[in-house]
Structure 1
């Protein structure tokens, strides 16, 4: 038989409050709309981040957007795709290599047009980032 515990009124109130706070946190998380794939955290108006001429057709470049490195790819003339440059495997920055994005740390390879994994050890695609094309400018979304 377990000895009885003498809990003070203060202990019951403190532990009860902690439980209520935990329950509220779980309830709030339950209301979440899910993980965001947007890697930007800025609420600023759209700004130019590159010119189409800066991005080779069939190739990619890495630029800074809201303090984060982003890959801009131009799979066909006038079409721009953007992804986080952070490899989902262990957080290294990928490097453009023609139609691929290669992780120099562990050898993962990604399709520059889709962000999808071509070769692991990464098991998930690069996170997409929203950008728009306005004339000859690539703009943050």
Structure 2
């Protein structure tokens, strides 16, 4: 005696459960690792670059203690002038969801979800971002701010 073939409903139900499980497993690999909270003051490392320094703006346009935006070799960056003779440049890509951060006084703010990054070292002041902004090599060359990307 042979058993009757499975009903169409039973076949669809089992294939839906299997597909749902496979999708859940595939999506689990897409979930980013989450740290306990905002970065704890660890200064980001400099992004390794092999490019030559590019002029991104006039030094006189960025007062000490303030921030600005620039572009180096078609890469958007944000700049902080720490002292008369010291500037820092960071990626303008928010480490939370990839939105473009913008200068906001002495800091950088993400308009998408409200993360704020400290201009002096790129670390997170308020989240939801958890990681600091990556830093580029920056220098002062006469009256110019230069960045290597």
Task: Give the shorter-chain TM-score range.
Answer: 0.5 to 0.7
The equivalences for 1:1-141 within 5 A come to: 37-38=46-47, 43=51, 45-141=52-148
Gaps of 5+ in 2: 1-44
CA contact (8 A) 1:62 1:72 kept: yes
Structure possessing the higher relative contact order (Cα contacts under 8 Å, 6 or more residues apart): 2
Q: Could you say what secondary structure the match of 2:70 adopts?
A: strand
TM-score norm. by structure 2 comes to: 0.64
Count of matched residue pairs = 104
Higher deviation after alignment, 63-72 or 114-123: 63-72
The structural deviation recorded for 1:97 is 1.0
Task: Output the TM-score relative to the length of structure 1.
Answer: 0.67
Calculate the aligned-residue CA RMSD, in Å. Answer: 1.8
CA contact (8 A) 1:39 1:84 kept: no
Asked if structure 2 preserves the Cα contact closer than 8 Å seen for 1:52 and 1:78, the reply is no
